[in-house]
């Protein structure tokens, strides 16, 4: 049996990656979404084990020491990380796993697991990203400025990804994302044993 693919998805806040992933996970039931752990407080509407596992800084640091984090990073003063065990178990069972993490963490995963497939979701433009964040109306201007600056830094790191896609129209973005998933299952790296099977008893 083939191992599952590991997809690492990054996008600046406000690029709609949550909505895209929600739809993609609905349509593709062989995908496992890896929930990250974080030390930040839950936002309104977020739930334990759905958006994040909310743990204390002490717990987080103890996980790091025990080698239990596939990657972790500090962002806006909080720690975010990927609990390793569940991810590796799913991949071994042939289940594809999606990690939704920021760019520094993504680079760490790629370094640890070169077969990981990195997907970056871009906004149509930085101006449009700012407009979307303003429209959301949940954060102060200062926080929005900070997010936009962070976004610019993250977008610059998109050159290290395998795929980049723009979320302009949601429907198209979902199609793009699903094409990447489907095509990446058809690469030769994933299918060397398929050739052997076709040739069996030839």
CB of 33 to a second copy, least distance (A): 20
DSSP-derived secondary structure for 112-164: H-TT-EEEEEEPS-HHHHHHHHHHH--S-HHHHHHHHHHHHHHHHGGGGSSEE
Task: Write the Ramachandran bin of 162: left for phi over 0, alpha for psi from -120 to 50, otherwise beta.
Answer: alpha
28 near a second copy, rule: CB under 8 A = no
* Residue choice 41, 44, 142, 200 for contact with a second copy (CB under 8 A): 200
* Residue choice 25, 64, 143, 152 for contact with a second copy (CB under 8 A): 152
* Residue choice 93, 136, 146, 192 for contact with a second copy (CB under 8 A): 192
The structure tokens 């752990």 sit at 37
Q: Which two tokens stand for residue 114?
A: 């070169």
* Residue choice 88, 126, 139, 150 for contact with a second copy (CB under 8 A): 126
124 near a second copy, rule: CB under 8 A = yes
CB of 5 to a second copy, least distance (A): 13
CB of 184 to a second copy, least distance (A): 7
Q: What is the CA radius of gyration of the chain?
A: 18
Q: Which two tokens stand for residue 45?
A: 């509407």
CB of 73 to a second copy, least distance (A): 21
Residues 180/163, Cβ–Cβ less than 8 Å: yes
3-state secondary structure of 70: strand
180 near a second copy, rule: CB under 8 A = yes
Q: Return d(Cα 17, Cα 84) in angstroms, integer.
A: 22
21 near a second copy, rule: CB under 8 A = no
191 near a second copy, rule: CB under 8 A = yes
The structure tokens 């060397």 sit at 192
Q: Return d(Cα 182, Cα 174) in angstroms, integer.
A: 12
Q: Which of the ranges 28-36, 62-70, 79-87, 116-124 carries the binding residues for a second copy, by CB under 8 A?
A: 116-124
Q: How many residues does the chain have?
A: 202
1 near a second copy, rule: CB under 8 A = no
Size of the site for a second copy (CB under 8 A): 40
Interacting residues toward a second copy by CB under 8 A = 122-127, 148, 152, 155-156, 158-166, 175-176, 178-180, 182-184, 186-188, 191-192, 194-195, 197-202
């Amino acid at each position: 049996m083939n191992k599952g693919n590991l997809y690492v998805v990054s996008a600046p806040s406000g690029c709609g990656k949550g909505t895209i992933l929600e739809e993609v996970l609905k349509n593709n039931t062989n995908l496992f979404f890896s929930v990250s752990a974080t030390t930040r407080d839950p936002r309104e509407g977020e739930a334990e084990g759905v958006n994040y596992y909310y743990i204390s800084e002490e717990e987080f640091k103890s996980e790091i020491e025990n080698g239990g984090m596939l990657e972790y990073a500090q962002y806006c003063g909080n720690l975010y990380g990927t609990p390793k065990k569940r991810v590796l178990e799913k991949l071994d069972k042939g289940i594809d796993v999606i990690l939704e993490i920021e760019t520094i963490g993504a680079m760490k995963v790629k370094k640890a697991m070169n077969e990981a497939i990195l997907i970056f979701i871009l906004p149509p433009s930085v101006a449009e990203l700012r407009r979307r964040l303003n429209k959301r109306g949940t954060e102060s201007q200062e926080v929005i400025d900070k997010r936009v600056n962070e976004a610019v830094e993250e977008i610059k790191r998109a050159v290290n990804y395998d795929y980049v896609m723009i979320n302009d129209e949601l429907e198209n973005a979902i199609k793009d994302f699903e094409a990447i998933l489907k095509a990446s299952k058809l690469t030769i790296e994933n299918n060397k044993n398929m050739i052997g099977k076709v040739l069996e008893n030839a």
